[in-house]
Structure 1
Amino acid sequence: MLNIDRITSNPNIMNGKACIRGMRITVALVLNLIANGLSKAEILAEYPALQAEDIDQCFNYAAYLAEEELYTTQKVS
């Protein structure tokens, strides 16, 4: 079961991008920080409003999106 109750989207906050608990911290920002080598502890120190579970849910949300099936409209030769 997907648990992403901390991931929110509001058209008035960051143009509707997926954010954490209605804050102006996007899921994409957190994932980019991790992808660029920051540890969870470093992110939590830099963004004190975040909690460890927020970061965990970013991963859950990303994993959910990655499972989406892609369909091509181009012919494969």
Structure 2
Amino acid sequence: MTLTGFPRISVDPQVCGGRPVVTGTRVRVTDVLEMLAGGASMAEIVTDFPYLSEDDVRAVLSYAASAADHPIVAAAE
């Protein structure tokens, strides 16, 4: 199933243990993030994985940014 607001990202218990993947592939969101963190460029990722597009890589980044955001909780005084 694709995630609301992220049509290029899917979660399916039968694919990669239910971890988020680029829709239509078995490439996990974490795989793309680890490549970027390791210094790979978007162009290198798309070259190495021709079934991914630059839009897919941008979708991974958008999903990760959304997942990392959380409400600020202030301590009660």
Q: For 2:70 and 2:33, how far apart are their aligned partners in 1?
A: 18
Evaluate the alpha carbon distance shift between residue 10 and residue 70 of structure 1 in structure 2; reply closer, same or farther with a 3 A threshold. farther
Runs of 5+ unmatched residues, structure 2: none
How many residues align? The count is 70
Contact 1:3 1:57 in 2 (8 A): no
Counterpart of 1:21? 23
Higher share of residues assigned strand: 2
CA RMSD of aligned residues (A): 1.7
The CA deviation string for residues 3-59 of structure 1, in whole angstroms up to 9 with x for no partner, is: 411000000000000000131100100000000000000000000000110000001
Q: For 2:27 and 2:43, how far apart are their aligned partners in 1?
A: 16
- Percent sequence identity is 31
Q: Which has the higher contact order (CA 8 A, sep 6+)?
A: 1
User: Scaled by the length of structure 1, what TM-score is found?
Assistant: 0.83
Paired residues for 1:1-77 under 5 Å? 3-69=5-71
Q: Deviation at 1:70?
A: 7.6
User: Scaled by the length of structure 2, what TM-score is found?
Assistant: 0.83
Runs of 5+ unmatched residues, structure 1: 72-77
Q: For 1:70 and 1:10, how far apart are their aligned partners in 2?
A: 30
